[in-house]
Amino acid sequence: MTFACLDFETANYSRVSICSAGIAVFENGELAESPYWLVRPPKGHGWFKELFVECHGLTHLDVLHAPEFPAIAPELLVRLTGADIVIAHNAAFDIDHLRATLDHFGLPRPKFDYVCTCQLARRVWPDLPSHSLATLTAHIGHDFNHHHARADAEAAGRVLLAMMKHANATTPRELLQNAGMEPKRFPA
Task: List per-block mean pLDDT (blocks of 10 residues) for the chain, which spans 188 residues.
Answer: 97 98 97 98 96 96 97 98 98 98 98 98 97 97 95 98 97 96 93
Q: What pLDDT is attached to residue 31?
A: 98
Q: What pLDDT is attached to residue 147?
A: 95
Distance (Å, rounded) from C-alpha 155 to C-alpha 142?
7
CB 87 within 8 A of CB 172: yes
Q: What pLDDT is attached to residue 20?
A: 98
Q: What pLDDT is attached to residue 28?
A: 95
How many other CB atoms are there within 10 angstroms of residue 62's CB atom?
16
* Closest CA relative to residue 114, chosen from 141, 91, 142: 91
Q: What pLDDT is attached to residue 131?
A: 98
Q: Is 106 left (phi over 0), alpha (psi -120 to 50) or beta?
A: left
Bridge partners (DSSP) of residue 22 are 7, 36
Q: What pLDDT is attached to residue 148?
A: 97
Distance (Å, rounded) from C-alpha 41 to C-alpha 64?
9
